[in-house]
Chains A and B, each alone.
Chain A
């Protein structure tokens, strides 16, 4: 297939499938990440995020399907296009024996669009000196260095795979600040993969949820949040069977109060509860983190959901 319009999508996949032996890591994934903004990619462990990144970057062959970065096929990325893609992973893999200064000089010579001011600005948040060896750096400092290296190359798309994993509050804050504000990154598309819902609530313009290698939701975080409803009640005369509860995501009993989280039910769920004779039912506000977690854990069966007729 020929190159696409360079400007349309930062990442795109079509029918992307990856099989590891009997296991399907990606199932017929059709994903389009438009250019610009912060795109959060969320999913439980094993949802296929890392496999997706490896295929998209041309590091792994898909079993079936195609993918593109900035309109260029992943299978044949030329060095010039590669230079426009940044990657920061949780391991922050860097050569431990090198000094920060030497590593910087090397990177600067590789990337033609290198911006020293951005590099200095980002690294300034982490207090890393040029004469330090990489292996002497703390986890937070290593994260800062890999972020500085990635942002200084002024990528058009920057993929971040759990960049704040294992970092303390201060380093986490610095990472987010740099991502949002360092340098001139207005045109850079951030693809942000994380389990930290507080971070996603703070920074994401778009939210995509992967589950078992499939795309299950994509849109603005607010649109997703609006589709989740939470209801509390004192009980039912006859508790319904879980499978009969429309759109059920989560059902727990906390301090004798039943708490039911549902998807795509709107205010109509109140009427359904009424029809079941629910006692003291009312709609209760729910935070973004709980909304996403309820959605992700919807196949997790609580004792309340195990009831049979």
Chain B
């Protein structure tokens, strides 16, 4: 399903959010796909169930997953997700954070854009391919 690593600079909770968000964004996990239960995923990863619950809560708040009481947790339909205005606001926030992080690294805007395009293309190919590991 997804993998986590201890010792990573991202908390386990964030690794789960990022991992599932990516799989949903690439379509690997399509709308309506049933996700493991909180306890089930916690068992698979040998982590505290509260950590999984926290990650699921965040994904539900983002409109990416829905929890149906007594039935299970599912990937949400696209229309159930964020409003256009909210999506634009988040894009703006994320872009701002990205720009702040890279501005001092000394790359030209072209180099940064090239790198960004490459990453986005990889996401598209990852959808079909078996391996999601970026070639180095």
- Give me the interface of A with B, judged by CB distance under 8 Å: 37-38, 173, 176-177, 180-181, 197-198, 201-205, 222, 225, 282, 285-290
Contacts and interface: CB of A to CB of B under 8 A. Distances in A.
Contact of B6 (A180, A197, A205, A285): A197
Nearest to A291: B9
B47 interface: yes
B50 A37 contact: yes
Given A222-B13, A288-B7, 13 more contacts: A176-B46, A180-B48, A180-B49, A181-B39, A201-B6, A202-B45, A203-B47, A204-B48, A205-B48, A205-B50, A225-B11, A287-B8, A290-B7
Nearest to B7: A287
Complex A-B, nearest 10 residue pairs according to Cβ-Cβ distance, in ascending order: A285-B9, A198-B6, A287-B7, A201-B6, A202-B47, A289-B7, A203-B48, A176-B46, A287-B9, A181-B43
B6 A288 contact: yes
Contacts of A282: 104
Interface residues of B, number: 18
Contacts of A37: 50
Contact of B11 (A198, A203, A205, A288): A288
Interface of B: 6-13, 39, 42-43, 45-50, 104
Contact of B48 (A38, A198, A287): A38
A173 B6 CA distance: 13
Nearest to B4: A202
A285 B50 contact: no
Contacts of A285: 9-10
A180 B9 contact: no
A128 B8 CA distance: 35
Contacts of B11: 222, 225, 288
